[in-house]
Amino acid sequence: MSEHPSGFAGSPPPSVSELLAAEIRTPRPSRLRRPLALAPKALEGAKALGLDDVGALLEHVPRARRESRTVAALAPGETATVVVEVRSIASRSVRRRGMRPLVEATVADETGPMKATFFNQPWLLNRYRPGTRLVLHGKFEGRNSFRVANHATTEEATSSAEEVSHYAATEGLSSTQILALVNAERACLRDVVDPLPGRLRGRLALAERGAALEAMHFGASATAVERGRERLAFEELLYTQLALLARRAAADAGASAPALDSASDLTDRWLAGGLPFELTGDQRHAVEHLREELAGTRPAQRLLMGEVGSGKTVVALYAMLRAVEHGHQAALMAPTETLAEQHFATIQRLLGGEPITLELLTGSTPAARRTKLLERLSSGATSLIVGTHALIEPGVRFDSLAVAVVDEQHRFGVRQRSALVAKAPAGLAPHVLHMTATPIPRTLALCEYGDLDQTRLYERPHGRRPAATHVVSGERERARAYERIAEEIRAGRQAFVVCPLVDAAEGEEGLGATASARAATEEFERLRAGELSDYRLVLLHGQLGHREKQAAMASFAAGDADVLVATTVIEVGIDVPNATVMLIENAERFGISQLHQLRGRVGRGEHDSLCLLCGPKTSPRLSALALHDDGFELAEIDLRLRKEGELIGTKQSGVGNLRHARLPEDEPLLARAREAAEAAIKADPALEQPEHALLADRLADLYGEIEAHPIAA
Ligand code: ADP
Ligand code: MG
C-alpha cells in the first residue's frame, strides 16, 4: 500500500509540493463496520475484547512492540516470536490415542532453518503452503525444534530482528491472530475518519488518524510508533479539554454574576489592619487575582488548592467580604459539622472587629433558631453564612448571594454544588470558589478540573517549619532513632510512633484494622519494656472503644504521656504542637501522600521537628519524602512513580479513560491540546460550525451532550 503522508506533532509542516503530491483519498467509514471474519471461538474472544467490527480492530493498538528474534539466535528454553517462511510442511501421526496428527514444518529466516511443530491443527497442512510467511510465537526447545503456541500469516517483508506487535489478547483469540487480522484489514486504515479539522491538523502538523493508527500497528521504528501514539494521545487530551471548556463556556453564557468592582473600604481596612497576621506571598497573589476576577460579570469558577494549614480560609474570606461590601451575601459550605464549626470560629476570629453579621447553619441548629436565621438570611440582614448541606435545603433563601465557597469540594456531589449556586437571585450566578487540601498534580488537575481556573497556595504561613525527614534502615540506625526520641522527650517534647497498615489494601477501616491494632499493641508492649521503658507511653488504635480513644488522646494532648504509639488513626485531627518527633514503622507500606499527611502531625509548634521513616534506603518514595516537603511536588513525584493502570481516584470524565495519553509524561501534548481547545471554543463556543461537526459528535459519544450545568468539578 502506498505511503501515507506522515507529519506529526512537532515535525515541520509539509511543503506545498508535498501537499499537492499527497494522494487524495475519500474514506468509506461503512467498511469499518464490517464484522470480523473469524471462527466462532475466536469471534467470542474478539467480543470479549470489544472488537466488534473492523473499526474496533484497527483501534485495538498493540500493547507493545517487541523485537522478533532470528532463528540462529534462539536459545534453548526461550519463548520468542519469529518471522519466517515455510519451506516444507508435512503431517505426522501421533501414537497417543485421541491426539490429532502433528503438523511439522521446516521454516527459515535469513539466518537459517528450524523445525516448527503445530499441535492439534491438522488443517494447517493445507493452509501453510511452502512460501507462506508466518509470525510464530512459541518456545524454542533446542535441537533446532520450535513448539508453536500462536501463529499467523504475515506480509511483512523483512525477517531479521524486526519489531512485532503484541496485542492484548484473550482466550480464543491470541495476539498473533490479532496481528494477522490487522494485517488482513490493513487497507481499511484508509477508511478511518479523522475528527480533527483539517485546519488544526495543518497548523499543528498532525498526521491523519488513520496514519497514526497504521504507525502504531506497523511502524518501522520505535520513533514512528511513538509518533503515532502521540497523535492519538493529543486527540484524546483535546477531547478532555474541549469537553471541560465547552461546558464552562455554556455555564458562562447561562447567567452573569454581579460585578464586584467598586468600594473596597472594608476589604482594604481589613487587609491593612484587621488581620491577626500578614498574608503570605501566595495568599496576596490569590487575593489580587480574586479582586480582578470578581470585578467581572463572568461568574468566577476557581479551584483553590492548598494543603491543610496553608491558609485557604483567609483567601476565601476576602472573596466573601468583597460581596459584603457591595451589599451582597456570601456563603461557605463545608462537608461536615465539625468543619463548618471550625470555619465559623476561624472566620469570627479573622473578621477582627469588623461589624459583620455571621451565622452558622448545620443539621443541629435548633428549629427555632433556624427559623429566625432563615428570615435574616432572606431579608439580607445576615451577610455571611457558614454551614453544611443544611445550606442547600429548599427552605433556605438568600436575599442576594454573590459569592459561594465550597470547602473540600470533592466531598460534595455535582448536584449539591449546583444547588448552592442556584441560591443566587434568578438570572444571576454567584462567583464560586472551590477549595481542596488535596495537592493535585498539574496534569491531572487540568484533565479533572480544566473547567476551573486554578490557584495554588504553596507557602506555609510563618512559624511552621518542615520536619527534617530521614530514612532509617538497619539496627544501628534504629537504635539511634530511639535515642533521638529519648533526647526529644528529655528536652520536654513528645513523640509519635506510627505502626503500619498490616495490609495496605485492607485499609484502616477494613479487615486490616484488627491486624494493625495488634501490630500497634505489640509494638507498644515492646517499646514499654525495651527502648522507651523510661518514659510514659499510651496506645491508640481503631479497635479501642470511644472512651478509651478519647482518654489516650487527652492524656497525650495534656502532656501526661510522652509517646503515643498508634495506627494511622492519628492522621485525623490530632493537634499537639509539643510533639516534635514521629517515627513511622514499615514506612514503605504507606503511600507518599499518606506519609506526608502523617508527617504533618509534627512541626506544628515553635520547635524543630523530626520525622523518621523506617524502611529501605532504596525506596524512591521514602527518598522523595526525605527530600521534599511541598505537597504539590510530592504529588507530582507520586504520579510519576505510579505504574500504568495505577491512576487511582480519577473520575470517569477525565484521566480514567485515557487510552493513549500518559500522564504526567505527556504534559507538553496536554498543553498543546489545551491551547487548541481554547482556540476552538473561543471561535465556536458550542462547536456548531461545520468544521467542528465530527469533533462535536465524538465528544457527545464520550461525554454526552454539553450542558450549561453542572460544572464538572
Ligand atoms: P486551611 O488551608 O487548612 O483551610 P486555614 O485557612 O484554616 O488553613 O488556616 C490555618 C491556620 O493558619 C489558621 O489558624 C489561620 O488563622 C492561620 N493562618 C492563615 N494564614 C496565615 C498567615 N499568613 N500567617 C499566619 N497564620 C496564618
Ligand atoms: Mg480548611
At 706 the pLDDT is 61
**345 within ligand 1 shell (Cβ under 6 A):** no
How confident is residue 477, by pLDDT bands cut at 50, 70 and 90? very high
Mean pLDDT of the 436-456 span: 90
- What is the average pLDDT score of the chain? 87
Omega within 30 of 0 (cis) for the link into 710: yes
What confidence tier does 110 reach under pLDDT thresholds 50, 70, 90? confident
Burial class of residue 513, CB neighbours in 10 A (0-12, 13-18, 19+): buried
510 pLDDT above the threshold of 90: no
Query: Lowest mean pLDDT: which of 6-15, 513-522, 589-598, 651-660?
Result: 6-15
Q: Specify the pLDDT at position 338.
A: 87
The pLDDT value recorded for residue 365 is 96
pLDDT reading at 708 higher than 70:
no
* Closest atom of ligand 1 relative to the 457 alpha carbon: 2
Mutate to test the pocket of ligand 1, among 271, 277, 304, 597 (most ligand atoms within 8 A of CB): 277
Phi-psi sector, 209: left (phi>0), alpha (psi -120 to 50), beta:
alpha
Closest by CA position to 566, among listed 585, 587, 593: 585
436 lines ligand 1 (CB under 6 A): no
The length of the chain, given as a count of residues: 713
Structure confidence at residue 504 as a pLDDT band (50, 70, 90): very low
Q: What is the 3-state secondary structure (H, E, C) of 420-463?
A: HHCCCCCCECCEEEEEECCCCCHHHHHHHCCCCEEEEECCCCCC
Task: Check pocket membership of 310 for ligand 1, CB cut-off 6 A.
Answer: yes
* Predicted pLDDT at 649: 42
Question: What pLDDT, on a 0 to 100 scale, did the predictor assign at position 539?
Answer: 93
Task: Tell whether the model's pLDDT for residue 64 goes beyond 90.
Answer: no
d(CA 339, CA 329): 21
Q: Nearest residue CA, atom 9 of ligand 1?
A: 311
Residue 652: band (very low, low, confident or very high) from pLDDT cuts 50, 70, 90:
very low
pLDDT in tens, 121-175: 888 999 899 999 888 888 999 889 999 988 887 765 443 346 778 898 888 888 8
CA–CA separation, 706 and 696 (whole Å)? 9
Instruction: Please say whether the dihedral angle defined by the alpha carbons of residues 683, 258, 370 and 318, taken in this order, is positive or negative.
Output: positive
Q: Alpha-carbon distance 92 to 122, whole Å?
A: 9
What tens digit of pLDDT does each residue of 604-629 get?
A: 888 999 999 999 999 999 999 999 99
Residue 382 pLDDT more than 70? Answer: yes
| Cβ 698 vs Cβ 474: under 8 Å | no
Give the range among 149-163, 387-401, 670-684 with minimum mean pLDDT.
Answer: 149-163
pLDDT at 517 over 80: no
Give the pLDDT band (50/70/90) at residue 713: very low
Q: What's the confidence (pLDDT) of residue 479?
A: 95
Which residue lies with its CA nearest to atom 10 of ligand 1? 309
Q: In angstroms, what is the span from residue 415 Cα to ligand 1's centroid?
A: 29
Position 377 scores a pLDDT of 97
User: What's 90's DSSP letter?
Assistant: E
| Per-residue pLDDT band at 251 (split at 50, 70, 90) | confident
Determine the average pLDDT of the residues in 506-513: 53
